[in-house]
Structures are given as structure tokens and as C-alpha cells.
Amino acid sequence: MLFDFQQAIVDWAVERERCAIFADCGLGKTIMQLEWLRRVGGRGLVVAPLAVAQQTRYEGRKFGLTVSYIRDAADIDGPGLYVTNYEMVDHFPAESIDAVVLDESSILKSIDGKTRGKLIEMYRDVSYRLCCTATPAPNDVTELGNHAEFLGQMTNAQMLGTFFVNRDGEWELKGHAVEAFYEWMATWCMMFTTPDQLGFPSNGYHLPPLNIDPIFVDVDHASYAQATGRLFVTGMAGVEGRLVARRMTMDERVKRAAEIIGASDEQWVVWCGLNDEGRQLHRALDDSVLVEGADSLEDKIRDIGRFFDQSKRVLITKVRIGGFGLNLQHCHNMMFLGISDSYEQYYQAIRRCWRFGQESPVNVIIITSDIERVVLENVQNKERAHQLTVAAMAGRVADYDRMALNGQSAASQEYDLQEPIQSEHYQLIHGDCREQLAAMPPDSVDFTIFSPPFLDLFSYSADPRDLGNSRDDDEFGAMYREVADGLLHVTKKGRLVAVHVAQVPAKLAHDGFIGLKDFRGLIIQIMTDTGFDYHGDVTIDKNPQAQAIRTHSKALLFKQLKKDASWLRPGLADFILLFRKPGESSVAIHPDITNEDWVTWAHPVWYGLRESDTLNKAEARTEKDEKHIAPLQLGVIERCIRLWSNPGDTVLSPFAGIGSEGYVALEHGRKFIGIELKPEYFKVAAKNLERAIAERTQMAMPLVIS
């Protein structure tokens, strides 16, 4: 009885085991989750809000499925489909069930942190977990993170650290992380607003007209000014002023509402904001039922059921009680007896009736005070903007979802590689250095110098082959080991590899703590495990004030000195780590430096190197880059190349960037091989290498004086 798109999603969800269905109202989330539980087998539990549990039973019955409403694990009688309320979840430990569905799972963002954490921890070991709710907002990172964490895909902190950057207190997707984020989402969720986004026909999935009719009740401005302590009324006086306006107009608003509903013989849903509003309207309408927060769970379920079976014509309640999850499409008349400033509540309340499957135009009347006109306008503006961004995000994720439903993988994409650039003096290769190093001749490189990515996710590219996009230290280690293997393969015996590193700041969002990660130690461990001998290192002095200005690290700020010095630490130095390939070199190295140079360069700390002594990095930056590229200083590269290679030697950089190592190598009479993954850097590196050749040629020309 499922539509083709519903069946395809259920097939995908069964295969995925732990996933989410983010679908717009009326697309059949309830029947999909019940069919998923039936297919999974065993003891399947749906956890749902309030009367949605009873509604789940009715929906199951329509499709020939028996769903039992229970309130304790002791009521589970073998394999089958069961449903309970969120209030009862404590009574259902993980060992009592085989599969769990969180219906209207957006509740994860609204429940308190303790309960949310309990849900995540409680069902961590349940193999089959499914979340179902309407499409979340793209900028609601808390909701997305909670879902990912409940489903065991990634913790909220890991998600933020991987894909997002915090700007002025707001989380935004990193420029290079946009597509990677949508692709990641598609691995564990189906997100769509219409079936055609997934490649299925949208027959029958069209929303009816929505008619919004605001009615404004005048407030006595003199009384309002007196009540809010002002001389004149120039607008709404904040939250307290809104409450004053609501109470001053309550009698008139309730009277208008009773007249409108009383003149109709159809069903109505009325959303109230104040208990007194609801009670007063309930007294005015004999055929109404009032559901309040203080009512017992049994009374709420019973009274909402009276509206469902149409023994009561009017349902009066608050949005937070009945505005999420309920399918009220048998009714097409709605009224807001006042308006809050939450566009989400406004939208969710309307979607109880205005949803796919609704056959009549939906009429929404909003009765509010004239003082609150601006509130309604703001809510409606936010709601329109929200829906545009939701549709855009759903469409982007659905692009990948459509591939998944068709058995395709975005990971199988072909990469558009540019042709290598070959000259007498250098070779520049566009591609993944792990692949390119393995393809190079063995024992062909005299000296290698480079700066690897520093675990800074999506700062420079979105390419999954970028070592900087490793999700954690283990993944980086596995990728860097392939690089180390390649370096051992191409390096001549007895020759050196110089690796530029720095310790990496740990971020609370990604790593769970604020401090440092021993990136230096990680590189040393991998290189020595690969077969290199750890030969030595150099510390490069850095300016802590420049670091403080650039990074805004609390560990370096003057105000932290006064506030709490336990957070202070010295500035971070750079290091050149030296590794030797075992064996004897067939050629001795004879540096073209003086004894005085060696006295300075032999010092364990290199001082006096200008941090600004780099190639122009601005031309390589793209609008998606989260950070400015930080090329290695030319002075550092020069010392390394002159010390540990001979003129005419081949110098390699597997992470060529904008060509800094190659520029210096060519400048000092060496040959160069560079490998770079990012197309923009590859193009700039080519320009810089050609410039180095031109400058060297110009310097070699004899001076002619006429």
C-alpha cells in the first residue's frame, strides 16, 4: 500500500539501520516508520508526543498493522509494534526492545539537556534506530547535531568542528564544507519536501490554497501607555507590553472568535496563548473541548480523541501541546487567539491542517491586538525566509539521496585533473600525492621539504583526498602513513626529508577540550614507524603578539592575564623535523655556506626569520577558503635546501601549495618536483616556478655597460 517513494525510502532505511527521515508534513512518515519496524522485526517501539501515539495506532490500523499502546516494558508481549509517549521513555530500557523510532524527533532540541542526553545514552546500543520529523532548519545546528548523535553518526561537537565555523556567536557552514556536509547528511538521512526531489512523481502531493486572515483588535492607547509606564504609545513595549495588550483585548478577541466559530458548522482548531483565553472561549462554545498543560496524560489523549472522532467540533489548546506531530487534516479551519513571536510554532501549528492529503483550502484566522501587528509581520517574514532555506537545503541533500536510492555513490566521482607541467628545471603535478609518490621511480629524490596539512577541516579545499579534511587523528594518521610510505620509496639512501610542523590547538567543538594536540609527535611516530630514522629538529622562533592578533587565542591575550592565567601558554613555535632514509648516500653534500653561517644555523632555535618573507598568497585564495594560506617562509626553505642538498639535486614537495619550496629550489640551482591537489594552488604554483626561472636567468645575464 506504500507509494513507490515510500517503499524505496523504507528499503534504504532498513539497509542503513540507523538513520532519519526528514520529510514534509503529509508525506507518510508514520506509515514508513511502522513498515520499517515491521521489516526490521523483533520488538519495535515508537516513541511519540502526546496524542500522536494514539494517532499512530489509527494509522497502523488503516494499513492492516496492529500497533499496541503501552506505558511500560512489562507490557511488551513478544515481537510486534508498540508505541508510547516521550513521558514514558524511562520505562523502556534498551534491552527491552530491538528497534526504536523517535517520532517527531525534533523534540530532541526542545527537551532539556538531561533528558536529551538520557535518550542518546539510553538507546546507544540499540542496533536499529530511526528518527522521523519534518525537514529541520539549515541553521538549526543543534537539531541536526542531536539527530546525528542519537543515531551514532557523529557527536554534536564533532559535527560542529568538522563542517561549521563560529562567527560572532553564530555557527555557519565552512565554505569548502558545504557540499561535503550535504553529502554526509545524505549518508544517514532522507531529506525532501516533495517526492519529485527524489526522482519520483509528485502525483497527489500538492498543497491546497492557504488563506491567512488577520483581525486586529484596537487597544485603548491611553490605558496601554499608563499600564506600561509610558507617556506616549510609539509601539509595543517589549514582552511585558505584549502581555498587557493581550489581557486588555482578551474579552474582545474571545468575543470575535466565538462569533466567527459559532456562525460555522465546521470543525475548528484554536491555538491560544493564555490559559484565561482558552477557558473563556471554551465557556462560550458548548461543542468545544479544552486541552491544557495541567491536564493528565489520559485526559489529554481522551479530549483530543473527541476532536478526532468529531464528537467535539472545536479543539482549543496551546501550540506546545498539540502543534507538533498531530495530523488534523480532517479539519481545514484554524484560529490563532493571539500570536507569539516564534515562527516555528506558527508554521508547525498551520501544518497540522495544511499538509499533503488535505483536500480543502485551509483557512487561518489570526485575532490579535493592533499593538502586536509588528509581531505577526515579523513571524510571517521569518516563516517565508525559513521555508526558502529549508527547501534549498532539502533539495541539496535530496540530490545525494536520489543517488543513494539509485545505488550510486557520490564518492565514485571522477576528479578533473590538469595535465602535469614539465620543463627542463621542474615538474609540477596536479593530484593526490599519495597516488603520485607511489607511481614515481624509487630512490629518485635527493631532498624533500614540505609542510603537511595541519588537521584543519575544510579550510582550504573540500576534496576528501585532502589530508586536512581527516575527521580525526586516526584518519589523518592512516592517510599520512601512505605519504610516508611514498617518501621512503622515492628518497635516495642516506638522504633527508624535512617536515615543517607546529602543534595543533585543540578546539572544544571538535576535540572536546581546549589545549594542544601533539601533531609534532604524531609525525615523528609515523615517519619512524615507516622506516625513517629521526635525525633531528629545528625550532623556529615565532612572534606571540602576531599570533595573538591573528588567532585571537585566549591563551595569549592580555585580558586573560588579568582574568585567569591558568589559561595562558607561550606562543606556538614552528618546527623543522628531519628524517634520514637508512643507508649510505652515494654523493656527499657540500653546502655553500660559511662557518659563521653554520654557527647560526646549528643553533637549535632559528631566530631572525621574517614571518612575512613568503610568496604572495592572496592570488591563491578563493572565497570558500576559511583561512589564508600560510606558506612556509622562504628564509626557512633556503636554509634547509642549502644545508641538505647540492646544486643540481632534485628537491621534492608532495604538498607544493603555491610553490614556495620549488621557488627557492630553482632560485638556488636545484631541480624541483611538486605535487599539489588543489587546482587554484596548482595554477599559482606554476606561475611562481616560471617566475623563479625568469629571475634566475636574469641574474645570470652579464651586466653590459655602454
As given in the structure block, the three cell numbers for residue 197 are 526531489
Nearest in space to 194 (alpha carbons), one of 12, 400, 406, 394: 394
Is 303 found in the same domain as 188? no
pLDDT at residue number 706: 46
Q: What CATH number is associated with residue 355?
A: 3.40.50.300
Burial (0-12, 13-18, 19+ Cβ within 10 Å), 571: middle
| Confidence label for 177 from pLDDT (cuts 50, 70 and 90) | confident
- 697 vs 607, higher pLDDT: 607
**DSSP class of 22:** E
* pLDDT per position as a tens digit, 326-358: 889 999 999 999 888 787 788 889 989 998 889
Distances (CA, A) of 611 to 104, 504, 546, 547, 592: 54, 18, 9, 11, 24
CB 253 within 8 A of CB 262: no
- The confidence score (pLDDT) of residue 612 equals 86
- Same domain flag for 81 and 103: yes
Final residue of a structural domain among 139, 167, 198: 198
Q: Is residue 203 part of a domain?
A: no
In this predicted model, which residue has the larger pLDDT, 104 or 456? Answer: 104
Per the model's pLDDT, the better-predicted residue between 545 and 532 turns out to be: 532
Determine, yes or no, domain membership for 189.
Answer: yes
Whole-angstrom Cα distance, residue 45 to residue 130?
Answer: 10
- The answer to the question of residue 88 being in a domain is yes
C-alpha cell at 665: 629550489
Percent of the chain with pLDDT over 90: 52
Same domain, 227 and 166: no
User: Residue 4: how many CB atoms within 10 A of its CB?
Assistant: 12
Is residue 670 included in any domain, yes or no? yes
The pLDDT value given to residue 705: 52
Same domain, residue pair 583 and 659: yes
Same domain, 181 and 104: yes
Residues 107 and 167 in one domain: yes
Q: Give the model's pLDDT for residue 235.
A: 57
Q: What's the pLDDT score for residue 8?
A: 94
Average per-residue pLDDT for the chain: 88
Tell me what pLDDT residue 421 has. 96
Residues 146 and 85 in one domain: yes
Q: How far apart are CA 673 and CA 650, in angstroms?
A: 7
176 with 228, same domain: the answer is no
Residue whose C-alpha cell is 635516495: 492
What is the bridge-based pairing of β-strands 574-580 and 491-502? antiparallel
Least Cα distance to 647 among 499, 437, 447 occurs for 447
Nearest to 653 by CA among 417, 428, 328: 428
Residue 73 CA to residue 122 CA, distance in Å, equals 14
- CATH assignment at residue 610: 3.40.50.150
Per-residue pLDDT at 324: 75
With respect to residue 44, please indicate whether it lies within any of the assigned structural domains: yes
User: Using one digit for the tens of pLDDT, what is the confidence trace for 625-645?
Assistant: 555 566 789 999 999 999 999
d(CA 212, CA 618) in angstroms, rounded, equals: 52
**Distance between CA atoms of residues 108 and 210, nearest Å:** 29
372 and 238 Cβ atoms separated by less than 8 Å: no
Same domain, 47 and 82: yes
Integer CA distances (angstroms), 221 to 218, 231, 348, 370, in order? 9, 10, 33, 10
Section 24-40 average pLDDT:
93
pLDDT band at 412 (very low <50, low <70, confident <90, very high): very low
Are 589 and 674 in the same domain? yes
User: Does residue 217 have a pLDDT over 80?
Assistant: yes
User: For residues 110 and 99, which has the higher predicted lDDT (pLDDT)?
Assistant: 99
What pLDDT score was predicted for residue 473?
85
Q: Is residue 510 part of a domain?
A: no
Largest CA distance in the chain: 112
The answer on 245 and 366 residing in a single domain is yes
Q: Region of 623 please: left (phi>0), alpha (psi -120 to 50) or beta.
A: alpha
pLDDT score of 560 more than 90: no
pLDDT for 180-191, tens place per residue? 888 888 899 998
**Which of 366, 388, 410 delimits the end of a domain?**
388
The separation between CA 166 and the C-alpha centre of its own chain, rounded to angstroms, equals 12
In a domain, 556, yes or no: no
**319 and 440 part of one domain:** no
CATH of the domain at 14: 3.40.50.10810
Across 382-396, 485-499, 567-581, 599-613, the highest mean pLDDT is recorded for: 485-499
Q: Is residue 384 part of a domain?
A: yes
Total number of domains constituting the chain: 3
pLDDT at residue 459 greater than cutoff 70:
no
Residue 85 sits in which domain range?
A: 4-198
Out of 198, 227, 246, pick the residue that ends a domain: 198
On the question of pLDDT at 232 being above 60, the answer is no
